[in-house]
Structure formats: C-alpha cells, structure tokens
A and B are shown apart, each in its own frame.
Chain A
Amino acid sequence: MTSVLFTNVRIIDGTGTAPYAGEALVQGNRIARVARGTRSLPTTGVTVIDGAGATLMPGMVEAHTHFSWNDAAGLSDLQRLPLEEHVLWSANVAKRYLEAGWTSCVGAACAKPRLDVVTRNAINQGLIPGPRYLAGSQEITVAGGLGDETLPHLPFPELSFGVLVSGAEEMRKAVRMFLKYGVDHVKLNLSGDNFTPTSPAGTTWMSDEEVAIAVREAHMRGKRVAAHARSCESVKQCVRHGIEIIYHASFTDEEALDMLEANRDRHFVAPGIGILIAMLDHAAPWGITRQKAVEMGYEVELAAAVESLKKMHKRGIRVLPGGDYGFAFTPHGENARDLEYFVKYVGMTPMEALLSATRHGGEIMMKGGELGQLKDGYLADLILVDGDPLANLGILRDPSRLLAVMKDGVFYKEPEIRSAQSRWGRSVA
C-alpha cells in the first residue's frame, strides 16, 4: 500500500474545529499525520495529491441504511425481487453508497434473512466494493405490525420483509437465528408507521417480554439492538431495555426525553427525517400527493419529529443522519439530504450536521476512537470535496463535486487530473 499526501487542502477534521488549510499524510490504512499550512510534511516516496484548495473531510457515516430496499414506491415491491437478484441489487447499492462518499453504513434491516450479512462479508473479503458495514437482521415484528406483509389467503413468510414472532420464545428463536447468521445487531419493530395505515406511527406493538428477550439474547453475544420506534412508548421501551440504536423517535414526551438524556452516552437516534419530508413533498409522482400524505399522518408526524429532535439536540442526545433511503422518493445515494434537513428543520449548524455524519458516525460504528475524524492515527476514510460543505451542504449530494473517496487508505474514487501531479514538478503536457 502506497502512502498518499493530500496537500493544499482545506481540512474539516470532524472535531468541531473551524476548517484550516493544511496537509494530511496517509500511510497504509491510517492517517499518519495531519498538519496545518503547506510544505510541512515530507513528500519523499509518497503520492502527492494537490487538492487545489478542495475540502478534505472524514468519509460520511450513514446511520440507518437499507441496501436491500429497491428504490420502489412501496413495501410489497421489496419481496417481489427473487433472492438472487436481491443479492446483486444489494451489492450494487453498496457500491453506490461508497461512490456517494458514505464510507461507513449501519445496516438498519434487510429484506431477506441474510442479505446484509452476505453483503458485509463480501465487502470485507474484497469481493465487491462497498462501505464499512454493520449488518442488520430482518425487521422482527408481530402480526399486523410494520413488516408483516402477509395476506389472509397468502400467509407465506417470504411475502414479508419482516420476520413475524408471537411471544418471547418465538422471539428468542428468531434472534438466535440472525445471530447465528452473523448479524452485528438485531432490529425490532416496536412501533407502527404511517406508511401502513393499519399500524400507524403513534402505536406500539411489541410486548416488553418480547423486547426483553431479544435484547438479552443479543447482548449475551456482545451484539447490539436497533429499533423502529416512532411512538413515544416505543422510545421509552428502547431506553428501558437498553436498545442502543433508536430509529425515528418522532413522538416523545418529557419523560422520554429525560430518559434519553440520562442515558445519552448509550443511545444513538437516527430519525430518518428524509422519508417524512419526502412523503409530504416528493412522493406525488408515485401517487402519494401532499393531501394524501397529510391524511396518512405525515404532517403531524413531521411537526412532532421536528420538535422532538430540536429538544434532543439541545439536550446533547446524539442525532445522526440517514434513514430509509431506498424508496422511489428517497433514492439511494441522496442520503446527504439529511444534513440539509438537520440544519433547516432541527436547528443544527452546518458544522453540527457534518459532525453528526462523521464524529458521531465513528461512534455508532463502534470505532469512536479511530473513525470519523481526521486525526493522527485514525482510519483513512476520507473524501475530497470541491467546495465548502459548510457554506453549501448540498454539494455533498453532487457526485461531480466529490473529487475523491478513500476507504481504509485505498482510493475508491481517485482524484482525476490531480493524481498524476506532484508538487514540485508537473508533467510536460
């Protein structure tokens, strides 16, 4: 592995410090040195990338990723895709995340039992390109809850992207199966969702006995638990049972917020705010007009979520971007929309939004001491961005502004033009 020196770059290091002009030297898969100014790091024997003032920042972390969601308008389309095609689809999507600058992703659930695990393993083996990935289970749910897509005359489990359990012992069995397959965390659907009118977002579906046994089985093996938790009660279940990763958390009360704040070093909240906004504003071409979305409850939920998230942010609860990209109105790769939404709706500064995708990202990847910041000794997951994301977060969604993507010290996207240039000599051409 060759060493790479990024010079003439504006560094956003993910610590919260204001950007500064500097250099970063990558040796092997780690950042060996970060320095302010120019010509401060040795250039001998290294490939020099002259960034010409572009921004060098940590690769982004998506906290709520569904590789197996297939950019369709509905949930039933997920299960119309046969297994073989679904694996290739997931592999293809993994590549798209890396291309879009997401060098790490937390799998939030897969649509068939082993899709996430197999994709993670293939990435780790170098068989396919993709971000660092923590593999999720399917969504574990109960009859009638989000994820149960069976019909009275078609009671086949394969019709559902979720796994249906009834009672603590069935939960144990399902969780153990996923742990055997090698998931990094188990996903529970604790609340409903306005996408499924018979189990709306404010409702809570799973019993404490079921939740408790799932968490116990996962924690016994050192694995974490994630939950779909939109309702207030489901958020409290997450805190009570020690579910580390809380998805959505739209509806909260003071008790829920107090509980979260008291345990804020333990929990991550990834609201997936993009889907709420998309349902209201971007889903009309697929038959979901604003009027219909309002009727489905999305206006009420967005208003509640914005209030909840603002309060969480003020209380220092970690709120992370990503979530439920992979629908027609939230296609994979558009995930950086979330950063803009965090500023516009949640009241974060642009720097806070970036930190949520980088520094907090390293933490949710369980590599807080070595991932998500541009620091000496940290893993070399870096993106080189043409422009200033702090002035315009929208450029993070533009592939043409993403000049380079490096994961684990290896360029996935190599900076064009610049790659051949050294600092002291330019080619005759």
Chain B
Amino acid sequence: MANVLFTNVRILDATGAAPYPGEVLVQGNRISRVARGARALPTGGVTTVDGGGATLMPGLVEAHTHFSWNDQPGLSEIQRMPTEEHILWCAHIAKRYLDMGWTSCMGAATAKPRLDVVIRNAIESGQIPGPRYLAASQEITVPGGLGDETLPHLPYPEFSFGAIVNGPEEMRKTVRMFLKYGVDTVKLNLSGEYIAGIPAEFTPMTDEEIAVAVKEAHVRGKRVSAHARSAESVKQCVRHGIEIIYHASFADEEALDMLEARKDHHFVAPGIAWLINTSFHAAEWGITPDAAKAMGYHRELEVACETLKKMHRRGIRILPGGDYGFAWIKHGTNAKDLEYFVSYLGFTPMEALRSATFLGGQIMLRGSELGQVKEGYLADLLLVDGDPLANLAVLQDPKRILGIMKDGVFHKDPQGRAARGRWSLPAA
C-alpha cells in the first residue's frame, strides 16, 4: 500500500476546530500525521496529492441505510425483485454510496434475510467495492405492522420485506436466525408508518417480545435498532436499551428526558428526508402534497422538527441518513440530509458535518479511530472542491468530490491532482 501525502489542503478535521490549511500523511490504512501549514511533512517515498486548496475531511457515515430498497415508488416493489437480481442491485448500490463519499454505512434493515450480510462480506473480502458496512436483519414486525405485506389470500412470508413474529418465542427464533446469518444489528419495527396505512403513533409490539429480542442480541454482543416514530416506541427503545433509534418523530417530554439521561447509549437517525420529500416532492409518483397531508406526513414533519430541535439542544446524538432508496429520495442523494439538518433542525453547518463524521464514527462502533482527521485514525477521507461549511450542497455533487479514500485506498483518485508532485508540474 503506497503512502499518500495530501498537501495544500484545507483540513476540516471534524473535531469541531475551524478548518485550517495543512497536510495529511496516510500510511497504510491510517492517518499517520496531520500538520498545519505547508511543507511540514516529508515527501520522500510518498505519492503527493496537491489538493490545490480543496477541503480534506473525513468520509461521511450514513446512519440508516437500506441497500436493498430499490428506488421504486412503493414498498411492494421491493419484494417483486427476485433474490438474484436483488443481490446484484445491492452490490450496485453499495458502490454508489462509496462513489458519493459515504465511506461507512449502517444497515437499517434488509428486504430479504441475507442481503445485508452477504454484501458486507463481499465488501470486506474485496469482491465488490463499497463502504464499511454494518449489516442488519430484516425488519422484524408483527402481523399488521409495518413490514407485513402479506394479503389475506397470499399469506406467504416472501411477500413481506419484514419478518413477522407472534410472541416472545417466535421473536427469539427469528432473532437467532439473523444472528446465525451474521448480522451486526437486529431491527425491530416498534411503530407504524403512514404510507403503509398504519399510523406513525401506533405501537404494536409488546414489551415481552422486545425484551427477548434485545436479550438475544446483547448476549451475542450485537446491537438492536428500531423503527420508532411514536412516543411510546421511543420510550420502549430507552427502556430496553435499543441503541439505535430511527425516526423518533413523536417523542414527548418524558421520552426526551429518558433519552437525555441515556444520551451516551443512544443514537437517533431521524430519516428526515423521507418526511420532507414524501410530503412535498412525491407528486410525480402519485403522492401529491394534499395526499401526503391526508396521510399525516405534514403533521409528522412539523412535530418531528420540533422534537429533533429539542433533542439537539439536549445534546442527544442525531445522525444523518435514512430511508433513501425510494423513487423520490434515490440512493446517493443522501447528503441532502445535512442541508435539512441546517434548514429544518437549526444545526450549524459544522454541527451537520460533525453528525455525519464525528458521530458517524461512534455509531460505527469506532469512535476513537473513525470519523475524524486525526493521527492514528483510519484513513477514510474525502477531498472536496469547495467549502462544505459555506455550501453543504457541494457534497451532493460527485464532480465536487475530487477524491474518495477508504481504509487508505483511493476509491476515486483525485483527477488531475494525483500525478502532480509538489516541486514539479508536467510541461502540459
């Protein structure tokens, strides 16, 4: 593995410090030196990348990723895709995330039992390109809950992107199956979802079922994540120690107090893009703003914004990503979340960036070695043309992402810059 020196870059190190001009040396798969100013680090025997003043920052972390969602307008479309096509789709999408600067992703649920695990393994073995990935189970749900797509005359489990359980013993069996397959997290659907005709504030899973799921996962050192929009489901998450809370739109004061008291234990990834775009940008696919309002999305968005602002003020960790992979929020456009965090939730641009990097390292279980540009940290880095703090939208434009490095290896070599040495430029 060649050593790479990024020179003439503006370093956004995600520690919270203001960006500064400097240099970063990558040796093997780690950042070995970070220095302020120019000509501070040795250039002998290294490939020098002259950033030309571009921003060097940590790779982005997506906290709520569904590789197997297939950019279609509905939930039933997901299960119309046969397994063979589905795994190739997931491989394709994994690459798309890395292409867009997401060097780590948290699987939030997979549509068929083993898609996430197989993709994670294929990435780790080098068979396919993709981000660091933590693999999830299917969404475990109860009859009539989100994820149950069976019909009265078509009661076949394969119709559902969720795995349906009844009672603690079925839950145990299902959780153990996913743990056997090798998931990193088990996903539970604790609340409803308007688009599936189930109110977001509906909380259909019993504490007995949840307790068994969490116990089985924790016994094997694995984490649990939950689809939890209702106030009660958020409280269930805290009561049962479910580490990763998705959505949390309707968390009330009691829920917020509980979360705040355990804020080092939990992550919240609201998937705010889903609410915004389903409310206002899905008309092309038949969901007009009026239809979305009738479903309840306008109200949920309004409540969720207030809830998340309060969480942010209380220091609860909120992370970007979530539910990209539908026709109106396609895979790869996930960096919109950072803009939404600023415009809808009152984050500063720096806070938004740190939620995708510094907090991202933590949700990946690598808080002390991932998500910041620091000596000894894993070399997951982006070279960005422009200043994301001045304009977060540059992170949505592949042309502005000049270089993408994961684990010390360029997935995207900075074009034009890579071959240039510091002291000599080619005659051209």
Residues of A within 8 A of B (CB): 82-85, 87-88, 91-92, 114-115, 118, 121-122, 127-128, 427-429
Contact of A115 with B114 in the complex, beta carbons under 8 Å: no
Contact of A84 with B128 in the complex, beta carbons under 8 Å: no
**CB closest chain-A residue, reference B84:** A118
A sample of 29 inter-chain contacts (CB < 8 A) reads A82-B114, A82-B118, A83-B83, A83-B84, A84-B87, A84-B115, A84-B118, A85-B118, A85-B121, A87-B83, A87-B84, A87-B88, A88-B87, A88-B118, A91-B91, A92-B127, A114-B82, A114-B84, A115-B84, A118-B82, A118-B84, A118-B85, A122-B85, A122-B88, A127-B88, A428-B426, A428-B427, A428-B428, A429-B426
Is the interface on chain B under 10, 10 to 19, 20 to 34, or 35 or more residues?
10 to 19
Contact of B92 with A88 in the complex, beta carbons under 8 Å: no
Residues of B within 8 A of A (CB): 82-85, 87-88, 91-92, 114-115, 118, 121-122, 127-128, 426-428
Q: How far is the CB of B70 from the nearest CB of chain A, in Å?
A: 13
Q: How far is the CB of B123 from the nearest CB of chain A, in Å?
A: 11
Within 8 Å CB of B114, what residues of A? Answer: 82, 84
Grouping DSSP codes into helix (H, G, I), strand (E, B) and loop, the A interface class, with mixed when no group exceeds half, is helix
Query: In whole angstroms, what is the CA distance A82 to B115 when docked?
Result: 11
Query: In whole angstroms, what is the CA distance A429 to B127 when docked?
Result: 36
Contact of A91 with B88 in the complex, beta carbons under 8 Å: yes
Contact of B85 with A88 in the complex, beta carbons under 8 Å: no
**CB closest chain-A residue, reference B91:** A88
Within 8 Å CB of B88, what residues of A? Answer: 87-88, 91, 118, 122, 127-128
**CB closest chain-A residue, reference B83:** A83
Within 8 Å CB of A88, what residues of B? Answer: 87-88, 91, 118, 122, 127-128
7 further A-B contacts with Cβ under 8 Å, apart from A88-B118, A128-B88, A428-B426, are: A84-B87, A85-B118, A87-B84, A87-B88, A88-B87, A88-B122, A127-B88
Within 8 Å CB of B128, what residues of A? Answer: 88
Q: How far is the CB of A129 from the nearest CB of chain B, in Å?
A: 12
**CB closest chain-B residue, reference A89:** B127
**CB closest chain-B residue, reference A128:** B88
Which 4 pairs across A and B sit closest by C-beta, in order of nearness?
A118-B84, A84-B118, A84-B87, A428-B427
Most chain A CB inside 10 Å of its own CB: which residue of B82, B84, B85 = B84
Within 8 Å CB of A127, what residues of B? Answer: 88, 92
**CB closest chain-A residue, reference B181:** A82
Contact of A84 with B83 in the complex, beta carbons under 8 Å: yes
Q: How far is the CB of A2 from the nearest CB of chain B, in Å?
A: 19
Query: In whole angstroms, what is the CA distance A427 to B83 when docked?
Result: 50
**CB closest chain-A residue, reference B88:** A122
Query: In whole angstroms, what is the CA distance A176 to B428 when docked?
Result: 62
Query: In whole angstroms, what is the CA distance A85 to B120 when docked?
Result: 11
Q: How far is the CB of B331 from the nearest CB of chain A, in Å?
A: 14
Within 8 Å CB of A91, what residues of B? Answer: 88, 91
Within 8 Å CB of A429, what residues of B? Answer: 426-427
Q: How far is the CB of B201 from the nearest CB of chain A, in Å?
A: 36
Q: How far is the CB of B84 from the nearest CB of chain A, in Å?
A: 4
Q: How far is the CB of A114 from the nearest CB of chain B, in Å?
A: 5
Within 8 Å CB of A118, what residues of B? Answer: 82, 84-85, 88
Q: How far is the CB of B232 from the nearest CB of chain A, in Å?
A: 36
Query: In whole angstroms, what is the CA distance A115 to B87 when docked?
Result: 12
Q: How far is the CB of A220 from the nearest CB of chain B, in Å?
A: 25
Query: In whole angstroms, what is the CA distance A230 to B332 when docked?
Result: 52
**CB closest chain-A residue, reference B86:** A84
Q: How far is the CB of A333 from the nearest CB of chain B, in Å?
A: 16
Most chain B CB inside 10 Å of its own CB: which residue of A83, A115, A427, A429 = A83
Q: How far is the CB of A79 from the nearest CB of chain B, in Å?
A: 16
Within 8 Å CB of A83, what residues of B? Answer: 83-84, 87
Most chain A CB inside 10 Å of its own CB: which residue of B83, B127, B428 = B83
Within 8 Å CB of B127, what residues of A? Answer: 88, 92
Query: In whole angstroms, what is the CA distance A379 to B404 when docked?
Result: 36
Query: In whole angstroms, what is the CA distance A79 to B426 when docked?
Result: 55
Query: In whole angstroms, what is the CA distance A118 to B84 when docked?
Result: 7
Contact of B92 with A87 in the complex, beta carbons under 8 Å: no
Within 8 Å CB of A92, what residues of B? Answer: 127
**CB closest chain-B residue, reference A83:** B83
Q: CB < 8 Å: which of A87, A121, A427, A428 contacts B87? A: A87
Within 8 Å CB of B427, what residues of A? Answer: 428-429
Query: In whole angstroms, what is the CA distance A82 to B181 when docked?
Result: 11
Within 8 Å CB of B118, what residues of A? Answer: 82, 84-85, 88
Query: In whole angstroms, what is the CA distance A428 to B88 when docked?
Result: 44
Most chain B CB inside 10 Å of its own CB: which residue of A88, A115, A128 = A88
Query: In whole angstroms, what is the CA distance A428 to B91 when docked?
Result: 41
Query: In whole angstroms, what is the CA distance A428 to B426 when docked?
Result: 9
Within 8 Å CB of B426, what residues of A? Answer: 428-429
Q: How far is the CB of B180 from the nearest CB of chain A, in Å?
A: 12
Within 8 Å CB of B428, what residues of A? Answer: 427-428
Within 8 Å CB of A84, what residues of B? Answer: 83, 87, 114-115, 118
Within 8 Å CB of A115, what residues of B? Answer: 84
Most chain A CB inside 10 Å of its own CB: which residue of B82, B87, B114 = B87
